Amino acid sequence: MNECKKEKRAEINFYNIDCIEFMKTKPDNYYELAIIDPPYGIDIDNQSQGKGGGVARKIDYTKKNWDKNAPDKAYFDELLRVSKNQIIWGANHFIEKIPVNSSCWIVWDKENGETDFADCELAWTSFKTAVRKFKWKWAGMLQQNMKDKEVRIHPTQKPKDLYRWLLKNYAKQGDKILDTHGGSMSIALACDMENFDLDICEIDKEYFETGQKRYNEFKQQITMF
């Protein structure tokens, strides 16, 4: 008799820990791909919001100082040691800390319209392919997929569909994924949906708990439907 083989589901591991100390516990090239969105060092909490998008009130996130500085060289040394490939958001703000040329930058076009916010965000990658663009509206209350609108819980939150697109285009099934700065945990939702194992670190206790809560609520909805 043929037995139905049950598909292995993604293993998503959350760590409320300093990411450098966490990476020190891993051997060389342990992860096939690191997708990270570290602090850019632009002090996002104290930036003037200007005219913004004019479509929604500004969310009052807890005041924090996590974006005063970008990660230092010790962080990037560990990241490049434990991962075979990397996608690093915001690297245009600290490219001197990643002294490696790349032909494959990723451009996220947020379709912000006429606002004071950046039209796009850039990610450096270790891949040898061409520059690619992902177009996904992310402007205040306006989002690309309004039927599945995401609640914002972090000031630099990225949409889960951006991470799904990255996984579909730059990861292979069976790859282990690392995220050192979990934030809103959007990548956890994406890895679950695309069935990739993920280790995700977040040192801030509030972000860790609210991000994990978001993931658990997402899993409950999947179970219900």
Residue 177 contacts residue 191 (beta carbons within 8 Å): yes
pLDDT of the residue at 54: 41
What percent of the chain has pLDDT above 70? 89
What is the average pLDDT across 51-72? 69
| Mean pLDDT, rounded, of the chain | 90
**Domain ranges for the chain:** 12-42+69-224
Burial (CB count within 10 angstroms: exposed 0-12, middle 13-18, buried 19+), residue 191: buried
Lowest mean pLDDT, pick from 16-20, 31-35, 139-143, 148-152: 139-143
Topology (CATH) of 12-42+69-224: Rossmann fold (3.40.50)
Residue 177 contacts residue 32 (beta carbons within 8 Å): yes
Comparing CA positions, the residue from 125, 129, 132 lying closest to residue 84 is 125
pLDDT of the residue at 64: 87
pLDDT of the residue at 53: 43
Residue 136 contacts residue 110 (beta carbons within 8 Å): yes
Q: What CA–CA distance (Å, rounded) separates 14 from 114? A: 37
Confidence of residue 189 (pLDDT cuts 50, 70, 90): very high
pLDDT of the residue at 55: 39
pLDDT digits (tens, 9 = 90+) for 67-97: 888 999 999 999 999 999 999 999 999 999 9
Lowest mean pLDDT, pick from 116-120, 189-193, 197-201: 116-120
Tell me the pTM: 0.90
* Beta strand 83-89 pairing with 120-125: antiparallel
pLDDT of the residue at 52: 45
Q: What CA–CA distance (Å, rounded) separates 138 from 148? A: 13
- What's the 3-state SS for the chain? CCCCCCCCCCCEEEECCCHHHHHCCCCCCCEEEEEECCCCCCCHHHCCCCCCCCCCCCCCCCCCCCCCCCCCHHHHHHHHHHEEEEEEECHHHCHHHCCCCCCCCEEEECCCCCCCCCCEEEEEECCCCCCEEEECCEECCEECCHHHCCCCCCCCCCCHHHHHHHHHHHCCCCCEEEECCCCCCHHHHHHHHHCCEEEEECCCHHHHHHHHHHHHHHHHHHHHC
pLDDT of the residue at 47: 65
pLDDT of the residue at 56: 41
What percent of the chain has pLDDT above 90? 76
